[in-house]
Amino acid sequence: MDAGMKDIWLYVQHRDGAVEEPTYGLTAEARRLRASLGGGGLVTAVVLGNGPVAGLEEMGFHGADRVLVVDDERLAERCRGDVFARALAGLAERHGPACVLMAQTAETLDLGARSAALLETAFISRVMDLQVDEDGVLHAHRPVANGYLFERLRCTDPKAPIIAFLPAVLAESVPEGETRAEVLAESMGAVSLDGGARVLRVEEADPGELDIEEADIVVCGGRGVGRDADFDIIHRLARAIDGSVAGTRPIIDWQTLPYERQIGQTGKTVMPRLIVNCGISGANEYTAGMEKAQVNIAVNTDPRARIFRFADLGVVADIHRLLPHLCERLEALRGHEPPAAGKD
C-alpha cells in the first residue's frame, strides 16, 4: 500500500466524558506528519471507552478529519491496558494506519507497549520530535542520559509504529478550522475480559501533598512570607487552586516546611504548568530550580526583585494583604467552605 495514502492516528485521552488537554497537541503533530508523508491520509482520532465523550466533533477545529469511536461496556474500566490494547490493536489491524501517536502518560505507556506487542511493531516512547525522510521512513528524536544527550531512532518497521510524545513538547493547540470532524462508531470485536489485572480503585492524591516534582501547580513561599503561622496563607492558596506547597531555602532552614518541599539548587527542580512565587526575591540559587515552569506568577513587595524577570505575571504587593482576598475570591468561586484552621 502507498504510504502516502495511510492515515495518521492519534489516541484520544479522555476523562469524565471530556477530552484531556495533551490530545489536542497531538493533532498538530499528526497534521505535520501527514503533510510530510504526502498528504494523502486522514488525521484520525481514536476514542476508546464506554459512554459519551463530549467535544469529539470539535476535534475537527483542531485538525482531525474523523474520529473513530469504540463505545463498549467492556471499556468501562479505565486503565485496563490489556483490554484497551486488544481493542486498539484490532482496530489498527482493520484500518492499517501509518502510525499511532499518543501523549505519553502512565496510561499510554502501558497501552502503547501492549498494543505494539499485539501488532508486532515498534513502540517508541519519550519522543520529542518526529520526522519523515525522503524515503518515507520515520525518524524519532528522544533524550537519553538525563537529557544530556539525544538519540535518533530510525523506524524501519513496515507496520504502523506507536509513538508516545513527551507531553512537554506538545504545543497547546488553538482551534482554527470550522470543519467538524466526522464521528464514526466502530465495534470492538471479540475481546474477553478474563484474566489480567483489574483496577479496583482510583485514589486522587491531595494536591497539597503531591510531590512538588509531579505537581501541575506549585505555590512556593519565600522569606517574605514569614515562618510558621505566617506561612499558612501559602497552604490556603494552594488548597484553593489545587496546588502543591513548596518553599525556598530559608523556609526549609526555619523548618516551616520539610526538606522535600524545597525548590532550588540544593532542593528540587520543578517544571509545573503554573508556579506562584510568593515573597521570593528570585536569587539564582532558587530560580535554577523553577525556571522551566510554563507559567510564572510572582508576588513581591520589591518591584526590582529579580523574580519579576521570570514572571509572566508580576504583582507588586504584600503577600499578607493580597492573598487573603485572592483566596476568598477563589474559594467563593469554587464554593469552598472556609478552610479548616491550623493545617498540619
Partner 1 sequence: MLTTALDYILVLAAVIVMLAGFARRPARVRQVVEESRRPADFGYFLSYILGHGRIVGGRPLAGIAHLAVFWGVGLPLVVIAFAQFPLVLPAGIAGLLSLVMDVLGLVVLAAGVYFLIRRLTSAPDLGAPRRVVVPLLLLLVIVLSGFVVEGARLRLTAAGYAWQSPVGWCCSSVLPASPLLMQAALRFHFFAVLLFVVLLPFTFMRHLLAASLNVLYRDRGHRGALTPAAGVVTENALLAGDRLFDAGQLLELDACVACGRCAENCPAALAGKVLNPRRVVQNLARCLEAAPVPAGGNIDASRLADAVSAEEMWACTGCMACVEHCPVLVRPLVKVIGLRRHEVQMHGRMPAEAVPMIRNLEIYGDVDGRGCAHRGDWAHGLDVPHLSERDVDAEMLLWVGCQGAFHPRYREVLRELVKILRAGGVRFGILGTEERCCGDAARRLGDENLFLSLARENMDVFNKYGVRRIVAVCPHGYNTLKNEYRELGADFEVWHAVECIADLIRNRRVTLRYPLEKSLAIHDPCYLGRVNGIYEPLRTVVRAVPGVRLTELPRNRERALCCGGGAGRMWLHEKPGQSINQLRAREIRECGVEAVGAACPFCLTMLEDGIGSLELESPPRVLDIVEIVAASMAD
The residue ranges that bind partner 1 (CB under 8 A) are 146, 148, 223, 249-250, 252-253, 259, 262, 265-267, 281, 283-285, 288
Closest distance to partner 1 from the beta carbon of 266 (Å): 4
- Asked if 263 contacts 289 with a C-beta cutoff of 8 angstroms, the reply is yes
Q: How far is the CB of 225 from partner 1 (least distance, A)?
A: 13
CB of 248 to partner 1, least distance (A): 10
Phi, psi dihedrals of residue 77, rounded to the nearest 5°: -85, 120
* Rounded CA separation 44/189 (Å): 20
Task: Please identify, using beta-carbon distances, which residue of 207 and 226 lies nearer to partner 1.
Answer: 226
Minimum Å gap between C-beta 256 and partner 1 is 13
Q: Which of 252, 326 has the CB closer to partner 1?
A: 252
The type of residue at 1 is M
338 vs 237, 239, 286, 334, CA distance in Å?
A: 12, 11, 32, 11
- Smallest distance, Å, CB 253 to partner 1? 5
Closest to partner 1 by CB, 121 vs 262, is 262
CB-wise, 32 or 223, nearer to partner 1? 223
In whole angstroms, how close is the CB of 281 to partner 1 at the nearest point?
Answer: 6
Contact 55, 47 (CB under 8 A): no
How many angstroms separate the CA atoms of 317 and 322, rounded?
A: 7
The smaller minimum CB distance to partner 1, of residues 176 and 214, is found at: 214
Instruction: Kindly state the cell numbers that stand for 253.
Output: 532552614
Cell numbers describing residue 39? 498528504
Query: How many angstroms separate the CA atoms of 70 and 48, rounded?
Result: 5
DSSP strand pairing (162-165 vs 138-144)? unpaired
Selection from 147, 112, 142, 148 nearest residue 129 by Cα: 142
3-state helix, strand, coil in the chain (%, to 5): 30, 25, 45
Nearest distance from C-beta of residue 107 to partner 1, angstroms: 30
Residue in 254, 229, 226, 258 with CA at minimum distance from that of residue 245: 258
Asked if residues 48 and 83 have their Cβ atoms less than 8 Å apart, the reply is no
Sequence letter at residue 264: G
Shortest Å distance, C-beta 222 to partner 1 = 10
Q: Closest CB to partner 1 among 262 and 277?
A: 262
* Cβ atoms of residues 72 and 188 within 8 Å: yes
For partner 1, the closer CB: 113 or 128: 128
Question: In this complex, which beta carbon is closest to partner 1, that of residue 201 or of residue 304?
Answer: 304
User: Cα separation of 318 and 21, whole Å?
Assistant: 34
